[in-house]
């Protein structure tokens, strides 16, 4: 297991309800891939969303995001944190 930060671009104008709905859709099926999405942060103006997760691999994170209809544009393994 490792930590991952994934980034979604092009989400301009995303609302609180849409972010909550997308996050809950991920949470509902995350166990299929052994993933846990911890937090998500959004900047609706630039359309950027960051998700922090614990997962066995970047591919596992992406499979969940793909199944819920919002594939990530970048997935970064986080190996350092302060």
Applying CB under 8 A, which residues contact a copy of itself?
3, 5, 14-16, 19-20, 23, 39-46, 48, 50, 52, 76-82
- Helix or strand or coil: residue 33? helix
**How far is 16 from 80, CA to CA, in rounded Å?**
29
Q: Residue 13: left if φ>0, alpha if ψ -120 to 50, beta else—which one?
A: left
Using the minimum distance from each CB to a copy of itself, give the nearer residue, 31 or 39: 39
**How far is 3 from 78, CA to CA, in rounded Å?**
5
Asked whether 47 and 72 are in contact (CB, 8 A), the reply is: no
CB of 30: closest distance to a copy of itself in angstroms? 14
Using the minimum distance from each CB to a copy of itself, give the nearer residue, 33 or 44: 44
CB of 35: closest distance to a copy of itself in angstroms? 16
CB of 57: closest distance to a copy of itself in angstroms? 14
């Amino acid at each position: 297991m490792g930590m991952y930060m994934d980034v979604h671009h092009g989400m301009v104008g995303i609302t609180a309800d849409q972010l909550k709905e997308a996050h809950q859709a991920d949470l509902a099926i995350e166990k299929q891939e052994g993933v846990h999405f911890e937090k998500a942060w959004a900047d609706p103006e630039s359309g950027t969303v960051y998700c922090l997760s614990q997962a066995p691999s970047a591919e596992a994170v992406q499979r969940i995001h793909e199944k819920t209809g919002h594939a990530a544009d970048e997935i970064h393994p986080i190996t350092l944190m302060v």
